[in-house]
Structure 1
Amino acid sequence: MRDLYNKPGLVAAVIFALIIATLVFKKVTREETLIVPVEDGKAQTGNQEESQTLSEAQAMKDAESGFSLSFPMACKLGKDCWIARYVDREAGDVAADHTCGSSTQNGHKGTDIAISDLARMKAGVSVLAAAPGTVLRLRDGVEDASVREAGTDGTKGQECGNGIVIDHGQGWQTQYCHMKQGSLRVTPGDTVAAGDVLGQVGMSGLTEYPHLHFTTRLSGSLVDPFDGGKFETSCEADGQSLWADKVPYQSFVPLPAQFSTEPKDLENMWQPGPKTIPSDSEAMLLVGRGFHPQRSDIWHFTITDPDGKVVLDNKINMEKSHQVYVGFMGLEKPEGGFKPGIWKGSIHVDHGPWDDYDQTIEIEVTP
C-alpha cells in the first residue's frame, strides 16, 4: 500500500499523481448589495447612491435604543454552519474585516454563513428573520447552481438569486440572498417576527457554494452587524454589536473532513463525501477543506486501518494564504483491495500563532 503523494516512482498514468490540491477561489466582481425586484415588478439595486449616510455613532445609538438581530439561520454556529466571510471594512484594493483581519473579500458587502455541502442544502437549513418587520420585496425561481458551472452571465440582474428584503422600521432593513429555489415561505406585505422561517439556504445567484448572504442597512447604508461600522470605511470602529446574542469571530474556518475515492477540487468540494467505500476502490483519500487558512499553516493528515495501524502520516505546509482551500492525501489500492471494516481519518491544523484545530472522521470499507 503506497501513500498517494508526490514522490519518485509513481506511474504518470495514475490519475491521482497530483495529490495535493492547493486551490483558491477565482476572484469574481460581486455586487453583493445585489438586486431584488420591488413589488411593482421594477428592479431596485442596493448599491445606488444614497442621499443619507450612516455614521458609526448613529449605528451605536440605534443599537442601544433597542434594534438588535437574532442569528438568521437555524443552525449551530461552528458545528453545522460557519461564517465564511465578513463585511469588507477597508476602501480600495485592501480587504479587512471588522477586526482588521483577512476573513473577507475585497468589496464584500455582507456576512456569508456557509453550510458543509450540497447534501445539507438538499436536506434543508432554514433561513430565519433576524428581527420583526414586514416583507418588502422578494424573488424566487432562480436555479440553485454554482457560477463555476453556469457562468456569471446568467446571474446579471439577479446576483442575489432567490432573496428577501425585510423592513424593520426606523430605517432598518435586512436582506437574505442565495436562498433555495422554491423554498420561500413569505410574500410581500407579510409581517414576521424574529426567528420566523423565511425559506431555506440555497446556492442561487452569484455564488459558488451553499450559503446565506446576510446584509443589514440603515437608511440605505450598509452596516456591519458585528460593530455597527460602515462598509469600506475603517476596520477600527470599535462600536457596539447588533447581535442580540454574541456571535464569535473566527479567523480560520475548517469545514468537516471527508473521505473520498477521487480527488477534490473547487469544482466538486461541495459534494458530500461517501458513506461507505468499496474495498476495490482505486484510492482512499482524506480531504481537508476550509476558509482563510494562512501562509505557514500546517495540515497534518493521518489514516488508521481497521486494525488500528497508522497507514498514512503526512503533512501539507501552506506556502500562501487562501480565501478557500481544499487539500487531500491518501492511499492507492493495495493488492487485494482495502481491508473491510472501519477506517479512521484525522486532520490536525496548526494555525500558526492562533488556535489549532482537530477533526476526526470514520468511513466503512465494504467487501
Structure 2
Amino acid sequence: MIRTTASLSLALALPAGAFELQQPVDCTLGETCYIQQYFDHDPGPAAADFTCGPLSYDGHDGTDFALATRAEMAAGITVLAAAPGTVKGARDGIADFAPAVEGRECGNGIVIDHGKGWETQYCHLKQGSVLVKPGDIVQAGTPLGLIGQSGAAAFPHLHLSVRQNGVKLDPFSIGTTACGSTGDDLWSEDLPAEPGGLLDIGITTAVPEYDAIKAGLLSPDLPTTAPALVVWAYYFGPKAGDEIALSITGPEGEVIAQRLPIEKTQALAFRAIGQKLKTEGWPPGAYEGTATLFRAGQQIDRMQVSITVEP
C-alpha cells in the first residue's frame, strides 16, 4: 500500500529538568499506529481534544495509541515505559475481547511511580504479555508488555494516563483546561498527530463485513469472472462535513469513482463503492484502488492498494 498524510508536529519546550515522557509504544505514528482518542478538554457533556478537534469522548482521561486491526495486535506491538520509575502495580490474566468487569475497566495494566507525585498508567495490554511486577525498576523504553484489547476496549490500543499528585493531566497540553490553549506538553520529542485519517483500504468482490475489516482483511488477486469489484476504506476521526473519494482504475481506465459526503462525526467508520461485472469478464492486469479523505476541501490523507485480475 502507498499512503500520504497531513499531520501536525506537536511539542512545546519544557524547562530543563522537567518531567518528560517518551512515546510509550514501539511503533511509528501515522504508519504502524495512530492516536485514536486524546484527553477530553470539554468541561460539559460534549468532548474536544486539545486542538478542539473531535478525537475524544466525554470524560476521556488519557491518550489512546491504537492499531488499525486485530491482525496487527496478533503480530505483537510492544508497550514501553514512558519514563524511568518503579512499578507500583501490575495486573495480567484478563482475556482480550471479553466484556469489561466493573472495577477492572483498565484490563491488564501497569502503574509506574516516577517520583515527585508523577505516575503513568498503561491499560488494555494483551493477556499474558505483562513483563513487570510491583517493585521492578524500569527505564524509559523498558518493555512492559504488548498492546491488547482487554478491559473496556472497543479496539486494540494502549490507553496511557498521566497523573501528578492524583490530578489527571493531558500530556499534550498540561496546566490547561480549555481546548485550543497553549499549555506545555510532556513529550521529549515531537509526536506527529493526525486530525483523522485512513487506516486501511482494499479491493474485494463484495462489500465486506465491518468486523472482517477490523480484523484485518486482505485484498487477494481475483479472476476475470469476479462478480464485482468493490473498493473499501477504513478510517478514523471523520467529522461531519468531511468527504471521502473512492475509485478503482484498471488496465483500460477508470472502473468506478465517487466522492461521498461524511454526514456524522465518529471515532471509526468505513465506506465502500463497487461496480458489478457487465461484460464477459474483467480485463486482466493491474487494478488500483484509491481512497482520499478531505476536510474543508483540503486533502488530509490518501491511501492506495493494487491487485491483479488474472486470466
Q: TM-score range by the shorter chain?
A: 0.7 to 0.9
| Superposed CA offset, 1:242-275 (max 9, x none) | 0000113322222122233443455443121224
- Structure 2 residue matching 1:356: 3-state secondary structure: strand
**TM-score, L = length of structure 1:** 0.75
Match of 2:163 among 196, 209, 217: 217
- Structure 2 residue matching 1:206: 3-state secondary structure: coil
Paired residue type of 2:231 = L
Question: Relative to 1, partners in 2 of residues 1:138 and 1:336: Cα closer, same or farther, differing over 3 Å?
Answer: farther
Question: Relative to 1, partners in 2 of residues 1:339 and 1:348: Cα closer, same or farther, differing over 3 Å?
Answer: same
Structure 1 equivalent of residue 173 of structure 2 = 227
- Structure 2 residue matching 1:212: 3-state secondary structure: strand
Question: Relative to 1, partners in 2 of residues 1:102 and 1:95: Cα closer, same or farther, differing over 3 Å?
Answer: same
Q: Is the 8 A contact 1:301 1:345 kept in 2?
A: yes
Deviation for aligned residue 1:363: 2.4
Distance (whole Å) between structure 1 residues aligned to residue 263 and residue 66 of structure 2: 25
Q: Which runs of 5+ in 2 are unaligned?
A: 1-11
Structure 1 equivalent of residue 248 of structure 2 = 303
Match of 2:52 among 100, 103, 108: 100
Q: Which runs of 5+ in 1 are unaligned?
A: 1-59
Distance (whole Å) between structure 2 residues aligned to residue 183 and residue 81 of structure 1: 19
Of 263-272 and 193-202, the range deviating more from structure 2: 263-272
Structure 1 equivalent of residue 35 of structure 2 = 83
Deviation for aligned residue 1:361: 0.9
Q: Is the 8 A contact 2:197 2:301 kept in 1?
A: no
Distance (whole Å) between structure 2 residues aligned to residue 225 and residue 171 of structure 1: 15
Structure 2 equivalent of residue 284 of structure 1 = 229
Distance (whole Å) between structure 2 residues aligned to residue 299 and residue 356 of structure 1: 10
- Structure 2 residue matching 1:239: 3-state secondary structure: coil
Q: Is the 8 A contact 2:54 2:239 kept in 1?
A: no
Q: Is the 8 A contact 2:13 2:185 kept in 1?
A: no
Paired residue type of 1:134 = T
CA RMSD across the alignment: 2.4
* 2:268 pairs with 1:324: yes
Distance (whole Å) between structure 2 residues aligned to residue 241 and residue 135 of structure 1: 23
Distance (whole Å) between structure 1 residues aligned to residue 32 and residue 200 of structure 2: 9
Distance (whole Å) between structure 1 residues aligned to residue 23 and residue 236 of structure 2: 20
Distance (whole Å) between structure 2 residues aligned to residue 163 and residue 339 of structure 1: 52
- Structure 2 residue matching 1:271: 3-state secondary structure: helix
| Superposed CA offset, 1:301-358 (max 9, x none) | 11122x2521111121122322322111123345555555432101122211554322
Distance (whole Å) between structure 1 residues aligned to residue 113 and residue 243 of structure 2: 45
Paired residue type of 1:162 = N
Structure 1 equivalent of residue 118 of structure 2 = 172
Question: Relative to 1, partners in 2 of residues 1:341 and 1:271: Cα closer, same or farther, differing over 3 Å?
Answer: farther
Q: Is the 8 A contact 2:30 2:192 kept in 1?
A: no
